[in-house]
Chains A and B, each alone.
Chain A
């Protein structure tokens, strides 16, 4: 079963690898990639804890709504687990 997740809408300052256009969007985990040193620490030379990284698949309809060229096309992006929450979280 594929897990539906929402990208958190937070806007922390600093070096993050989560594109703004995907924040708040819901997708499904396409595959999990294991753990990688947190780039938000690495960018500042801090000791980096390993964080799980997932590839999340979004539909263009979810990302762009009525502006999508073709709503069924998809977009995959790697998102760190601490940027994700269950899609049904309120």
Chain B
């Protein structure tokens, strides 16, 4: 019985500890966010509707947007060239509303594997890919990726030979990055729409590779 604590304190029937509830008090910063938001509304600088709309706009951005960009880059040499030259402009040209995002595309090849991190905070191309995964913001990912990228990659299931050069990109300032994963073998006859399904979020961060067909 899960709530019998006589024998195994805080252990679930499976033998693992129960996860702590997260219904704790507001943090200092959460309180400040609420105060600033309410002030902005009271002063008619913004409205609750505008805020809700912005949240909906951000939530509507998902890794599938990036997957469409990658698939087109695989299938369309002209778009590929435009993307490598100016990824933000090429992405806007596809119709994505990415706001002021400044984007650099880096490409994996047989010899090079790229990986994105932000050691200072958690810069991420949200305006294209949506919100980052929680681990991307973790101190462990941020500190270890610049120091031992191969070990981190191995933990994500990506084992690279020494002959593959790892390029870590620390997104420290004004640019954001997207990895164009290597196009999987055996996809020569696939349509652009079919290719989209092979592109994972992690492959665009560089902690994964594109799925095999």
Is A67 a contact of B147 with CB atoms below 8 Å? yes
Query: Is B151 located at the chain interface by the 8 A CB criterion?
Result: yes
- Nearest CB on A from B172, distance (A): 5
Is B165 a contact of A73 with CB atoms below 8 Å? yes
Is B150 a contact of A17 with CB atoms below 8 Å? no
Q: Taking CB as reference atom, which chain A residue is nearest B143?
A: A21
Is B169 a contact of A76 with CB atoms below 8 Å? yes
How many residues of chain A get a CB closer than 8 Å to chain B's CBs? 24
B interface, over-half SS:
mixed
Query: Is B120 located at the chain interface by the 8 A CB criterion?
Result: yes
Collect the chain B residues with CB atoms within 8 Å of residue A55's CB.
175
Query: Is B184 located at the chain interface by the 8 A CB criterion?
Result: no
What is the bound-complex CA distance between A78 and B117, given in angstroms? 12
What is the bound-complex CA distance between A71 and B148, given in angstroms? 11
Collect the chain A residues with CB atoms within 8 Å of residue B151's CB.
69
Collect the chain A residues with CB atoms within 8 Å of residue B169's CB.
75-77
Chain A stretch 22-57: residues in CB contact (< 8 A) with chain B: 22, 33, 36, 39, 53, 55
Q: Taking CB as reference atom, which chain B residue is nearest A39?
A: B173
- Nearest CB on B from A35, distance (A): 10
Query: Is B105 located at the chain interface by the 8 A CB criterion?
Result: no
Query: Is A3 located at the chain interface by the 8 A CB criterion?
Result: no
- Nearest CB on B from A10, distance (A): 16
Using CB atoms and an 8 Å cutoff, list the residues of chain B in contact with chain A.
119-120, 146-151, 162, 165-175
